[in-house]
Amino acid sequence: MAQFSLYEEEYHPSPLQRTWHEFRGSHVAFVGLIVLGIFLFFSLFAPLVAPHDPIAQNIDALLIPPSWEVNGSISYLFGTDALGRDVFSRIIYGCRVTLGSSIILVLLAMLVGVTIGTIAGMMRGVRSSVINHLLDALMAIPTLLIAIIIVAILGTGLVNSMWAITLALIPQFIHHTRSFVRAEMKKEYILASRLDGASNRQIFFNSILPNMIEMLVVQGTLALSIAVIDISALGFLNLGAQPPLPELGAILADGLDVAYLAPWNVALPGLTIFLMVLAINIVGDGLRSALRKRLSH
Amino acid sequence: MITILTRYLTLFVLTLLVLAALSFSLAYLFPGDVLTNLSGITPQNEIQREALARQYKLDQGYFFQFIHYIGQLLSGNWGYSFISGLPLRDEIGIAMPATIELSTYAMLIAIVIGIPVGYYAGMKGYTTADHTINSISLFSYSFPVYWLALVFILVFSLELGIAPLSGRISLLFDIPNVTGFILIDTLLADGIDRGLAFRDALHHMVLPTLAIAIITTAAMIRLTRRSVIDVLSRPYITAARSRGLSRWQIFSRHILRNALLPILPLMAIQITTLITNAMIVETLFSWPGIGNWLIQAIYQRDYPALRIGMLAVSTLVITLTILIDLFNRLIDPSREKYERGTV
């Protein structure tokens, strides 16, 4: 028989601490977290990190190659674009615009999605079934399509493209929240609090929400990677952020005109988006497997 | 069985009605004249305007206008494009198959490569081979599709010059539009060297298809791998093992089919991503598909085209999604209604 006393163990990690422990055990996930941290640092402290003004044009320094090329200059680390703007500074500010707006819109989508999802999950009967099915079906409409429609109604701009992507992300939060709330409502501990006289509201805030946070974090990272790709895609298609605003997709689209002459103008912003999405995906993957390991033990 | 079919049919009709209502309300939401947005014709004088308004029942309430709108949609009168002045139905009839063709080939590649590789990785779960496959798929899953397509163009078309830059087929070939699928059309066309045309069309298709397929394949690998690993941890696998079945027997009898079930509904979600990616890639390769068409329409503020294009694309995606969902439900009744697998 196993000999251990629960109360004499010196260390009692909380569920969150255990997930963190599992997460740290995977080196790749941890590296992903560090890279994501660097991107977050760039976005928060862009004015301190960037050596030049991202929109200041310099006619004396057009299309200077990156500093590692023979005729590059160290004062322009990633070279300059066709208007003499420093690509490195633009990318730093681009991280701020792209990552920052993505985080904001994911949080917004999460808030709305969880609210509607909870209501739908607690509701029963034909009405809820119809709403659920309709939402599931509408979830299938591509983001790009929603964005095109919103741009047609409201006009182009970063904020409008953010609305479009928020709208496109909400159904998936609703879906997951609803399934989660449904499954939780059938469990005994909910029944126990219900017998204690807890109202639906109390059940949600005291019992379901604490259990849901991890699921929300995992879904949030998934949504974040989609949001970054979509925001930059819309910027690239000239439907989102408009040019002087340094948005990574818009920078990429700017570089397209001189792609043959100055390939770094296309390669570097694209690489940044790729690294950002990769870091988010690695962290999300690490979180999911950490959660899975914790739950299976 | 009948109940399920009725349920899905009702759902399908309801969703289409919601979409039609959305598309109808767009005529009011878009800037500009409602009548022009609805018909695509700019009336030249007051008399023509009156006649058009009567024809579109604009003098009656919203509800009757909507009923009339649905009738028009069903009878195939979808209005005219602002820019080209052509009937929208013909334009979509040409653009839509091009997108479907591109997406179908990408999906086929994803299924043919992704699912077996996913099975292999799942069976080898948590070994070096599995980790390698998993990392590669995570890597390729993170590519922004437009950048990948750009890199392809820069490397293969401009640097190496081994692939054409844009379009569906060389302008030397005059291919009549029969099925809308260029590979089939080249084989049906008369008076040209069919083999040459077919190879040329294939040549044009490689880069855009690959750009889309790489991302979808990566997603497919990850879905399949996860599903196989989940099935492997089930008690019936342990039971089969304890009965002395070999690895191959367990795989072919218990894992192969059980692991496919949770993949199906996730494939429905992949279709949405696939179509979005196809639409973006089309603009880069000047592929005459619906994505390119819609993005040109938004650049030129062609509101009637946007209204119908939105309806057409969302109808296509939703029909596919609901069909896959229905199929999944029919072959797997044990499944809970809202259950979906994870990546």
Task: Report the 3 state secondary structure along chain A.
Answer: CCCCCHHHCCCCCCHHHHHHHHHHHCHHHHHHHHHHHHHHHHHHCHHHHCCCCCCCCCCCCCCCCCCCCCCCCCCCCCCECCCCCEHHHHHHHHHHHHHHHHHHHHHHHHHHHHHHHHHHHHCCHHHHHHHHHHHHHHCCCCHHHHHHHHHHHHCCCHHHHHHHHHHHHHHHHHHHHHHHHHHHHCCHHHHHHHHCCCCHHHHHHHHHHHHHHHHHHHHHHHHHHHHHHHHHHHHHCCCCCCCCCCCHHHHHHHHHHHCCCCCHHHHHHHHHHHHHHHHHHHHHHHHHHHHHHHHHC
The percentage of chain B sitting over the pLDDT mark of 70, rounded to a whole number, equals 97
Q: Classify residue B306: in a domain, yes or no.
A: no
Residues of chain A with Cβ-Cβ distance to B318 below 8 Å are 137-138, 140-141
CB atoms B14 and A285 under 8 Å: no
At residue A135 the predicted structure's pLDDT band, cuts being 50, 70 and 90, is: confident
CB atoms A270 and B295 under 8 Å: no
Residues of chain B with Cβ-Cβ distance to A153 below 8 Å are 26, 29-31
Give the mean model confidence (pLDDT) for residues B326-336. 75
The CATH number given to whatever domain includes residue A194 is 1.10.3720.10
pLDDT at A9: 63
> Within a 10 A sphere around the Cβ of A182, how many other Cβ atoms?
18
Q: Classify residue B115: in a domain, yes or no.
A: yes
pLDDT at B118: 94
Strand partners, A281: none
Nearest-CA residue of chain B relative to A256?
Answer: B150
CA distance linking residue A94 with residue A98, whole number of Å: 6
Q: Classify residue B257: in a domain, yes or no.
A: yes
At residue B341 the predicted structure's pLDDT band, cuts being 50, 70 and 90, is: very low
Residues of chain B with Cβ-Cβ distance to A133 below 8 Å are 11, 14
Question: Does residue B51 or residue A235 have the better pLDDT?
Answer: A235
CB atoms A148 and B138 under 8 Å: no
Q: How many domains does chain B have?
A: 1
Quote the domain boundaries for residue A206: 34-294
Position B261 pLDDT exceeds 80: yes
Q: What is the mean pLDDT of chain B?
A: 85
CB atoms B150 and A137 under 8 Å: no
Q: Classify residue A18: in a domain, yes or no.
A: no
Q: Classify residue A150: in a domain, yes or no.
A: yes
Q: Classify residue A69: in a domain, yes or no.
A: yes
* Of A129-143, A210-224, B157-171, the least confident: A129-143
| Maximum separation of any 2 CA atoms in chain B, in Å | 86
CA distance linking residue B225 with residue B223, whole number of Å: 6
pLDDT in tens, A86-126: 889 999 999 999 999 999 999 999 999 999 888 888 876 66
Position B227 pLDDT exceeds 80: yes
Residues of chain B with Cβ-Cβ distance to A144 below 8 Å are 276, 279-280, 291
Position A2 pLDDT exceeds 70: no
Question: Does residue B260 or residue A129 have the better pLDDT?
Answer: B260
pLDDT at B208: 92
Q: Classify residue A64: in a domain, yes or no.
A: yes
The percentage of chain A sitting over the pLDDT mark of 90, rounded to a whole number, equals 27
* Nearest partner of A192 among A177, A210, A209, A207, judged by Cα: A207
CB atoms A151 and B298 under 8 Å: yes
Give the mean model confidence (pLDDT) for residues A65-71. 82
* C-beta separation of B281 from B153 below 8 A: no
**Is the Cα dihedral B293, B295, B300, B306 positive or negative?**
positive
At residue B243 the predicted structure's pLDDT band, cuts being 50, 70 and 90, is: very high
Tell me whether A2 touches chain B (CB under 8 Å).
no
Strand partners, A80: A86
CA distance linking residue A8 with residue A13, whole number of Å: 13
Residues of chain B with Cβ-Cβ distance to A296 below 8 Å are 233
**Is the Cα dihedral A119, A121, A122, A128 positive or negative?**
positive
The CATH number given to whatever domain includes residue B136 is 1.10.3720.10
CB atoms B295 and A237 under 8 Å: yes
Q: Classify residue A91: in a domain, yes or no.
A: yes
At residue B100 the predicted structure's pLDDT band, cuts being 50, 70 and 90, is: very high
pLDDT at A6: 61
pLDDT at A85: 87
* C-beta separation of B133 from B221 below 8 A: yes
* Of A48-57, A148-157, B326-335, the least confident: B326-335
**Is the Cα dihedral B272, B275, B280, B281 positive or negative?**
positive
pLDDT at A125: 67
- Could you tell me how many CB contacts below 8 A there are between chain A and chain B? 133
Q: What is the mean pLDDT of chain A?
A: 86
pLDDT in tens, B51-95: 777 777 777 778 888 888 888 888 888 888 887 888 888 888 888
Position B342 pLDDT exceeds 50: no
Please tell me the number of Cα atoms within 13 Å of A104 on its side-chain side: 13
At residue A3 the predicted structure's pLDDT band, cuts being 50, 70 and 90, is: low
Which of A130, A133, A287 to probe by mutation at the B interface, max B CB count within 10 Å?
A: A133
Position B337 pLDDT exceeds 70: no
Q: Classify residue A27: in a domain, yes or no.
A: no
Residues 36-75 of A with CB under 8 A from B: none
Position A4 pLDDT exceeds 80: no
Q: How many domains does chain A have?
A: 1
pLDDT at A272: 93
Tokens 């959660």 belong to residue: A291
Strand partners, A86: A80
Position B116 pLDDT exceeds 90: yes
At residue B105 the predicted structure's pLDDT band, cuts being 50, 70 and 90, is: very high
Q: Classify residue A94: in a domain, yes or no.
A: yes
Give the mean model confidence (pLDDT) for residues B172-185. 77
Quote the domain boundaries for residue B92: 88-292
Measured at the CA of B207, the angle between CA B205 and CA B209, to 5 degrees, comes to 65
Residues of chain A with Cβ-Cβ distance to B14 below 8 Å are 130, 133-134
Our CA-based measurement puts residue B291 at a distance from the nearest CA of chain A, in whole angstroms, of: 9
Q: Classify residue A6: in a domain, yes or no.
A: no
CA distance linking residue A216 with residue A134, whole number of Å: 23
Nearest-CA residue of chain B relative to A234?
Answer: B280
